[in-house]
Amino acid sequence: MNILRLVFLNALRHKLRTALTIMGIAVAVLAFGLLRTVIGAWYTGVASAAPDRLVSRSKISITFTLPIAQKEKIARVPGVEGVTFGTWFGGVYKDPKNFFAQVAIEGPVTFAFFPEILVDPEAVKTFGAERNAAIVGSALAERFGWKVGDTVRLVGTIYPGDWDFVIRGIYRGRDEATDVGTFYFNWNTIEQRMAQESPGRMGQIGWWIIKIDDPARAATISKAVDTEFDNSSDETLTETEAAFQQSFVAMAGTIIVSLQIISVLIVGVILLVAANTMAMTARERLSEYAVLKTLGFGAGHILGLIAGESLMIAGLGGVLGVLLLFPAVEGVAQGLKAWFPAFPVDPATFVLAAVAAFVVGALAAVFPAWRAMKVSIVDGLRRID
Q: Is 203 helix (H, G, I), strand (E, B) or coil?
A: coil
- DSSP string computed for 24-87: HHHHHHHHHHHHHHHHHHHTHHHHT--TTEEEEEESS-TTS-EETTHHHHHHTSTTEEEEEEEE
* Cα(353)–Cα(42) distance, integer angstroms: 20
- Please tell me which residue, 136 or 275, carries the higher pLDDT value: 136
User: Percent of the chain at pLDDT above 90?
Assistant: 42
Give me the torsion for CA of 139, 143, 147, 152, rounded to 10°: -110
In contact, 344 and 255? CB cutoff 8 Å: no
CA triple 250-253-259, angle to 5 deg: 140
* Cα(170)–Cα(153) distance, integer angstroms: 17
CA triple 209-215-219, angle to 5 deg: 80
Res. 63: pLDDT tops 70: yes
- pTM listed for this prediction: 0.69
Between the CA of residue 122 and those of 117, 257, 287, what are the distances in Å?
14, 45, 81
What's the burial of 351, exposed, middle or buried (CB within 10 Å: 0-12/13-18/19+)? exposed
Q: How many CB atoms lie within 10 A of CB 169?
A: 21
Q: What is the phi-psi region of residue 90: left when phi exceeds 0, alpha when psi lies from -120 to 50, beta otherwise? A: left
Q: What is the structure's pLDDT at 362? A: 78
Q: Out of 19-33, 148-162, 178-192, 209-223, which region has the weakest mean confidence (pLDDT)?
A: 19-33
* Cα(67)–Cα(206) distance, integer angstroms: 9
* Cα(209)–Cα(271) distance, integer angstroms: 49
**First-to-last CA distance in the chain?**
30
Report for 20-24, 73-77, 261-265, 292-296: range of highest mean pLDDT: 73-77
Please give the mean pLDDT across all residues of the chain. 82
In contact, 127 and 167? CB cutoff 8 Å: no
- Please tell me which residue, 183 or 323, carries the higher pLDDT value: 183
- Specify the pairing of strand 101-105 against strand 182-186: parallel
User: Looking at the chain, which runs of residues are DSSP E strands?
Assistant: 53-58, 66-67, 80-88, 101-105, 117-118, 133-137, 151-156, 161-173, 182-186, 204-205, 207-212, 236-240
pLDDT one-digit tens code per residue, 192-228:
999 999 998 999 999 999 999 999 999 999 999 999 9
pLDDT one-digit tens code per residue, 363-385:
777 777 776 666 666 655 565 55
pLDDT one-digit tens code per residue, 281-304:
666 666 666 666 666 666 666 666
pLDDT one-digit tens code per residue, 46-60:
566 788 999 999 999
The angle, 0 to 180 degrees and rounded to 10, between the axes of the packed helices 253-284 and 286-294 is 60
What's the burial of 6, exposed, middle or buried (CB within 10 Å: 0-12/13-18/19+)? middle
* Cα(83)–Cα(65) distance, integer angstroms: 16
Report for 166-175, 278-287, 312-321: range of highest mean pLDDT: 166-175
pLDDT one-digit tens code per residue, 87-130:
999 999 999 888 888 999 999 999 999 999 999 999 999 999 99
pLDDT one-digit tens code per residue, 246-262:
766 555 556 667 767 77
* Cα(104)–Cα(189) distance, integer angstroms: 8
Q: What is the structure's pLDDT at 1? A: 46
Q: What is the structure's pLDDT at 35? A: 81
Which residues are registered as beta bridge partners of 85?
A: 208
Which residues are registered as beta bridge partners of 56?
A: 208, 238
Q: What is the structure's pLDDT at 102? A: 94
